[in-house]
Chains A and B, each alone.
Chain A
Amino acid sequence: MIVLVTGLLAFSGALLMLIAAVGLLRMPDFYTRMQAAAKAGTLGILLIVAATGITLGSISALLHAFLASLFFLLTAPVAAHLLGRAAYLSGIRPWVLEDELAGRYHPATHELRSSNAPTASAPGIDRVEETLS
């Protein structure tokens, strides 16, 4: 019974990671590829971690599995966000009709403005406006 459960967990996790790899190969631009790899890959590795933890079965194995899954849940979105931001700033345009981020990043400091309004009430905005002009 436990063998069946862990086998199903490991196999579905592996299938999800295969979906992530296929998405990485087939998606049209960098950002869609990135979200395919980040989300499907994370869920896949979580299922495999759960399968390993249940297979080994001991308290310390379950604790290892819990800590590993916590680690994956914390790091995968951070890595994807940093890489997406770096890619956008290095000039890779997303595969969209209208790029709503265009002009929001300051070209020199890479600070992000949230709105197009020139005089916003937020404290940090004025400084960005100064450096822009």
Chain B
Amino acid sequence: MTERLVGLPVESPLLVAAIVVLVSALLLALVRVVRGPTIPDRVIALDLMASLVVGLLLLLGAVLELLAIVDIAIVLALIAFLSTVAFASLIERRTRE
């Protein structure tokens, strides 16, 4: 498994570049989570961060040729979606009262 990871840049440098780009996007979204003036800003930034992590997991699955990682990515996306919906209903319910 480590041999594949080490041999990766020779095999497909574009995949490594994609991973680097995804990590930098993760840092940019983190800046919005920290700064974001309102709670919905932070929630949408966390949602984007979750899908960035899903993208990283999918690329990891492609590199390691493990199909199980794709399942993990799908479950993480499901959790992110449910938490976003829960946050939305929390924000809305708090204003209704």
Contact A86 B14 (CB under 8 A): no
- Given A10-B15, A17-B51, A48-B59, do A89 and B95 touch, yes or no (CB 8 Å)? yes
The residues of B that contact A33 with a CB separation of less than 8 Å are 32, 41, 44
Q: Beta-carbon contacts of A81-124 to B below 8 Å, as 1s and 0s?
A: 01111110111100000000000000010100000000000000
A75 touches B52 (CB 8 A): no
Tell me whether chain B's interface is mostly helix, strand or loop, or mixed: helix
A55 partner residues in chain B, CB cutoff 8 A: 62, 65
Given known A-B contacts A83-B43, A87-B38, A91-B95, A18 and B88 have beta carbons under 8 A apart: no
| B interface size (C-beta, 8 A) | 53
Give complex CA distance A30, B91 in Å.
14
Residues of chain B within 8 A (CB-CB) of A75 are: 77, 81
Evaluate contact between A61 and B32: CB separation under 8 angstroms: no
Closest to A107 in B: B96
A33 to B40, CA, bound (A): 10
- Whether B51 pairs with A82 at a CB distance below 8 angstroms is no
* B80–chain A nearest beta-carbon distance, Å: 8
Interface centre among A24, A65, A80, A87 (most CB of B within 10 A): A24
A110 touches B59 (CB 8 A): no
Q: Which residues of A contact B25 (CB under 8 A)?
A: 14, 17-18, 20-22
Question: A residues engaging B (CB < 8 A)?
Answer: 3-4, 6-8, 10-11, 13-15, 17-18, 20-22, 24-25, 30, 33-34, 37-38, 41-42, 44-45, 48-49, 51-52, 55-56, 58, 60-61, 64-65, 67-68, 71-72, 75-76, 78-80, 82-87, 89-92, 108, 110
Given contacts A42-B51, A52-B59, A92-B40, 11 further A-B contacts (CB under 8 A): A18-B24, A24-B28, A33-B44, A45-B51, A45-B55, A64-B71, A68-B77, A72-B51, A83-B88, A86-B40, A86-B91
